[in-house]
Structure 1
Amino acid sequence: MNGDEQLLRGRIYGHDHDDPDPGPRPGRSYATLVGGPLDGLFLDVTDWSPDQRASGIALATELGRFGAGGRALYDPRPGDPEHFDWSGDSP
């Protein structure tokens, strides 16, 4: 596991890496990102509708193939709404 991967594990997507409590919070719902540049991060899906949870998402990241300004694409795992699987990168 490289330094970036260690920095991300167990953290919530969108929270600052310097956050003293970067992990999941009580009362919130999360999906785990699996694979790709954001592997191991939690995605807060608390306020998402069922339609949003069934759709894929493009998450901004500097760690993907396209660097700054790029996006990592994640799709919900069929039959397992607790996991979103990486499907590629986009500029």
Structure 2
Amino acid sequence: HRISKPNAKIRIIVPYYNCYGAYNDITHLHYFNEYSFEPFYKKSTRGNYFINEKFELINLSLIPTRLGKFFFFDFIRKPLGKVLGQIIQTIDITLRVVK
């Protein structure tokens, strides 16, 4: 936020917590789900993170694995991804900087 221009887009791609990719790399210190980035663009979210920077959510996509693509609809894939591993592979989120 500090070094970005106004209205800059920030794209973040991270492994989903319930996929083996989140655990393969020893440099991964945290695990991410679809709610991990809410404190950046929603101020009424759970917890108090003391985030003063403002962002606007442009896109949040849950990218399925090859197995997850067999479940065509998101309303089926999302709940299964929380219970079963290897359904959702990555989270692709784009935020816009608000200055």
TM-score scaled by structure 2? Answer: 0.23
The higher-RCO structure (CA 8 Å, 6+ apart) is: 2
Q: Tell me the TM-score normalized by structure 1.
A: 0.25
